[in-house]
Amino acid sequence: MQRRQFMVAAATALVAGGVIGAVGGCAPLRDARRGGAATGPARPLDAAAYRASRRFAQLPFGRIAYIERGEGAAAVFLHGAPLNGYQWRGAIDRLSAHRRCIAPDFMGLGYSEIPAGQSLAADAQTAMLAALLDSLAIDAVDLIASDSGGAVAQLFAVRYPRRVRSMLLSNCDVEPDSPPPKVMPAIEMARAGTLADATAQWLTDKALARSTFGAAVFRDPAGFADETIEYYVSPLVASPLRRAQYHAFHIALAPNPLAGIEASLRRCRAPVRIVWGASDDIFAQSDADYLDRLLPNSRGIRRVAGAKLFFQEEFPEVIAQEALRLWQG
């Protein structure tokens, strides 16, 4: 296989490797020195602002990176792979006037610092999320999730049903399609130890990142900015340990982490809205229909024309619109 063909296949597989929004402005920033609210609106979350906002929670799982904006009832944003919480920056800009918005980085992805030997499987990610919420004194949340994060959201709703007020699920794993076929090449590359090297090439050849990964997951890959590529990829390949954990995250995707969850999800009482990119060819359109049939309090499906897997970055106003509609009942 030619190198570019190989990278296209690898990048397309990468985007589905996870197992494990247009109303309102930004909430006032807290002034840490005075304990009060700053007078101006929060700065939009570009890469520099997002980096400056990063916090860490020291948990038994490691130092979990997250950002937090807004006040009141908590909304938690769960990202996909190989991304991190930065995926949700546009939605958080729009929703932090309405919720205490929290976006953690999963173990093995993003900027969380995890010790060697820590499980990165979906079960562990779910337990980590519960521990993070405990550390932040948060009892119940509204979950907003995509891709690998959608699987963790479903597991969390089953294991901690009283902690979930609502779920907004976009293109993500479901029990009959986890991992989807297009993720298998990424899993095989992780097993072979080559996935991190392939991903690292995006740092030095950003046109390659846009023409492979970007084309697979964005309607307009030209919008996959250099700073975004760097923010996603840099931590994944920063050290031998991080590369090994990046591989371990993907290896943990099989066997199916959602096996056997269907009966429990049928008992989920939280209201759910499904927002699905209509041009995604990694997670099937039938996966959205499956969730709609399965979840007893589904509020239906919104299909976003032209949107691919990671449309949440390109259409944050859609996420915000649908989240507010769901929260308002």
For 80-107, the pLDDT digits (tens) are: 999 999 999 999 999 999 999 999 999 9
Measured from the Cβ of residue 280, the count of other Cβ atoms closer than 10 Å reads 25
Residue 229 has pLDDT above 60, yes or no: yes
DSSP β-bridge partners for residue 76? 102, 143
Ramachandran category for residue 90: left, alpha or beta (phi over 0 → left; psi -120 to 50 → alpha): alpha
Helix runs in the chain, H state only: 3-14, 47-53, 89-95, 122-135, 147-159, 184-192, 195-204, 206-209, 215-217, 226-233, 240-251, 262-265, 285-294, 311-314, 316-327
State the total domains in the chain. 1
Instruction: Name the residue type at position 28.
Output: P
Measured from the Cβ of residue 306, the count of other Cβ atoms closer than 10 Å reads 12
DSSP label of 29 = E
Prediction pTM value = 0.90
Residue 33 has pLDDT above 50, yes or no: no
Q: According to the model, what pLDDT value does residue 40 have?
A: 35
Residue 254 has pLDDT above 90, yes or no: yes
Q: For residues 240 and 138, is the Cβ–Cβ distance under 8 A?
A: no
With a CB cutoff of 8 Å and minimum separation 6, the contacts of 192 are none
Share of the chain above pLDDT 70, in %: 87
204-216 pLDDT per residue, tens = 999 999 999 999 9
Q: Is 242 helix (H, G, I), strand (E, B) or coil?
A: helix
pLDDT band at 239 (very low <50, low <70, confident <90, very high): very high
114-156 pLDDT per residue, tens = 999 999 999 999 999 999 999 999 999 999 999 999 999 999 9
- The rounded mean pLDDT for the chain is 90
Read off the tokens for 250.
Answer: 């993907």
pLDDT band at 111 (very low <50, low <70, confident <90, very high): very high
Residue 36 has pLDDT above 90, yes or no: no
Q: Is 103 helix (H, G, I), strand (E, B) or coil?
A: strand
Domain coverage including residue 12: 3-327
pLDDT band at 329 (very low <50, low <70, confident <90, very high): confident
Which CATH number covers residue 44? 3.40.50.1820
pLDDT band at 25 (very low <50, low <70, confident <90, very high): very low
Q: According to the model, what pLDDT value does residue 14 have?
A: 55
pLDDT band at 32 (very low <50, low <70, confident <90, very high): very low
Query: Which residue carries 């958080």 as its tokens?
Result: 92
Q: For residues 198 and 314, is the Cβ–Cβ distance under 8 A?
A: no
Instruction: Name the residue type at position 35.
Output: G
Q: According to the model, what pLDDT value does residue 85 have?
A: 98
Query: Which residue carries 């269907």 as its tokens?
Result: 262
Q: What are phi and psi of 23, to 5 degrees?
A: -130, 140
255-288 pLDDT per residue, tens = 999 999 999 999 999 999 999 999 999 999 999 9
Q: What are phi and psi of 140, to 5 degrees?
A: -130, 150
Residue 35 has pLDDT above 50, yes or no: no
How many alpha carbons fall within 13 Å on the CB side of residue 29?
15
304: enclosing H helix or E strand: strand 298-304
User: Cα(165)–Cα(130) distance, rounded to whole angstroms?
Assistant: 14
Q: According to the model, what pLDDT value does residue 227 have?
A: 97
pLDDT band at 42 (very low <50, low <70, confident <90, very high): low
**Cis ω before 185 (30° cut-off from 0):** no
Share of the chain above pLDDT 90, in %: 86
> Nearest to residue 143, comparing CAs of 131, 135, 155, 134?
155
Q: According to the model, what pLDDT value does residue 44 have?
A: 82
Mean pLDDT of 29-44: 38
Q: Is 275 helix (H, G, I), strand (E, B) or coil?
A: strand
